[in-house]
Each structure stands twice: as structure tokens, then as C-alpha cells.
Amino acid sequence: MRNNEHLSGDLFDQANEWYHRLHGDSVTEADRRAFRQWCAQSPDHEAAWEEVQTFAADIRMTLARPPVHAAASAGRRSRRLRRRVLAAGGIVIAVTVGVQAPSSWTDRFRADYLSGHGERRTIALADGTTVILDTDSALRLLPDSEGRGVALLHGEAWFAVRHDARHPFRVWSGNGQITDVGTRFDVRHLDQTTTVAVAEGAVDVSVGSSSALPPDHLRLTLGQGVTYGRDGLGGMQEVDVSAIGSWRTGTLVFQQRPLREVIAELNRYEGSRLVLATLSGRDRPVSGTFTVGTGSTALPALQEALGLRGLRVTPWVTVLY
């Protein structure tokens, strides 16, 4: 294998994103064609992809060892993987189902406001509206010609809107928009799916504007939420108001969520990415409240509740089994 030390971190980030996309449940033939075109752009693109696969294979080899031998070899393998991770600019591979893919790197060029991994950021807009960005989120301001509002490119955000009936505030997210009717609400946009929950007042949610997906709309009030995506607008659901936007205080609340989804959510905050080593039990329901960020209790609480063991393969990857 060629020496890849000179390759840029951006290329490794792109290769890592392709790895996630190609191993996802929704991969299409168009995705595969686009990947082949990306890989053919230069020898460095091919080298970055080769390094990504080698890193993933190293983790799999560690997982394949019996626990005693895995622990004995973890130091040696971790040192080698650590060098590769540093050369890759912090790349992290998900080798099994249940780990959320990283946000689109292209959003960073389109956004007016960004939050980093594990960061919360408060933004005071010129119209008096306050926005709090959750971890790894991207927000773009709408041009004046489109009125008051923003586009949530990815991630999650809390909105405390200064109401103005003559100039409504709108949030564009995915294939829909949320219009303020005087409120505080939370919007989450990940994996081409948007979830809206109202903590005060009301919002109008509208989705679809093409012949393939006719327009649909719904008004949400206090304690109500809805999810929409490629298949249109879902049904209204009752939401625990105390749990809406709980991430603002470093708390995540799960109610009968599959383990794979809980792990994917925790990975948005934890410094070491959690990888579920086996598909067995990945849909096991999980309920509980976890503290994330500084002083996080999420990993030990999850291990104690479900009887999971952890293997820290590198400072950036912890395998649960």
C-alpha cells in the first residue's frame, strides 16, 4: 500500500462519508455511480478510500478475536489505528449498523452558523428571535427576499421566535417548512427526516410541492409533534413537553427507543464513537435519561442497564458487545 501520510484530511472525511453511505440501508445505484466517479477523480481519492477500508478492517479483526486476546492486542492495534486516525484528520468508521453517518460536509460551505461535535451554540437573530443549535448542526439565513426565517441544513435547533403576524418566521427543513404562529419549538433534521415538536404556542407544518408529493399541512400546538420526510407528512403525536429540547441542558430522554437509535443519538455527543459489535439485540427497546457532554454518564448507564461490555479500540472508537 502506498504511503498516505500526505493525503488531506478533507479527502479522508469524504471517503468516510462514502463508507457510511454505501453501507447504509438506503443506498441506491445512483449513489454507487456517484461514488465510482468520486473515486476516479485522482489517485489520492483512491488512496483515501483504501485507507478507510483498511481502518475498518483493523477494527473488525479486533472484534473477531476472543475477549482475552482482544484485550491483550488492543494496545498494539490501538497504537497503529491511532496513527492512522491522526493521519486521517480524525476519521471514525462505523463498522456495523446502528451508528449514525456524519453530517454532509458540503453543508459547511452553505451555512451561516455551525456548531461542532458536542457543542451547543446560541444565536441572536436580528429580528429578536433566539436560536440554539445542538451538536453538529448547520443553519443558513434566508435572503431578505424570502422573508424572515432560516434553513436548518442538518442537526437540531431550538427556536424562541419573536412573533410578528405581518412577517411570519419560517424554518425550512428537508422538503418542508415550519411557520411560526407565536411559539417556542424544536426542529431536528437528520438522515433526510425532520421532526418538529412544540413547547409553547403553535406552528404550521407544510410538506411537499411537486406532482410526486402533493402539498400537505398540519397545525401543531403545545405538546404536539410530527415527523416528515420522503414519504410526506406523518400523523400528529403527543410529546412530553419536559423532554422537548432537553438537549439544551445536556440531557437526552429516550422512551422505548431501539438500542441502535439510542447509540446513534449518543454518538452525536460522545467523544468516543460507540459501535455495536453485533446485530443481535440492536432493536432492544431502551428507556431512560442520559447526561451527555461534560461529565457524561451515558456510556456507563447504558452498559449497566443492558449488561453491555465496552472495548476501547482507539481513543475515538469504543465497541459495545
Domain co-membership, 209 together with 116: yes
DSSP strand pairing (216-221 vs 184-190) = unpaired
Taking only the tens place, the pLDDT of each residue in 241-268 is 999 999 999 999 998 999 989 998 998 9
Question: Alpha carbon of 178 to those of 166, 217, 220: distances in Å?
Answer: 16, 10, 10
Mean local confidence (pLDDT), 117-142: 94
Domain co-membership, 21 together with 137: no
Taking only the tens place, the pLDDT of each residue in 163-177 is 888 899 999 999 999
Taking only the tens place, the pLDDT of each residue in 78-95 is 444 444 443 433 334 444
Q: What are phi and psi of 152, to 5 degrees?
A: -85, 105
Q: How many domains does the chain have?
A: 3
In a domain, 20, yes or no: yes
What cell numbers appear for 55 in the block? 481502518
Percent of the chain with pLDDT over 70: 75
In a domain, 98, yes or no: no
Find cell 455527543 and name the residue. 269
DSSP strand pairing (317-320 vs 273-276) = parallel
In a domain, 96, yes or no: no
Query: How confident is the model at residue 105, as a pLDDT?
Result: 67
Q: Measure the N-to-C terminal CA separation of the chain; round to a whole number of Å.
A: 31
Query: How confident is the model at residue 22, as a pLDDT?
Result: 82
The last residue of one of the domains, among 239, 266, 291, is 239
CATH value at residue 296? 3.55.50.30
Taking only the tens place, the pLDDT of each residue in 34-78 is 999 999 999 888 888 887 777 666 665 554 555 444 444 445 444
Taking only the tens place, the pLDDT of each residue in 97-122 is 333 344 466 787 889 999 988 899 99
CATH value at residue 170? 2.60.120.1440
* Residue ranges making up the domain that contains 215: 107-239
Phi-psi region of 158 (alpha: psi -120 to 50; beta: other; left: phi over 0): beta
**Residues facing 138 on adjacent strands:** 114, 154
The last residue of one of the domains, among 239, 267, 286, is 239
* pLDDT classification of 179: cutoffs 50, 70, 90: very high
Domain co-membership, 114 together with 55: no
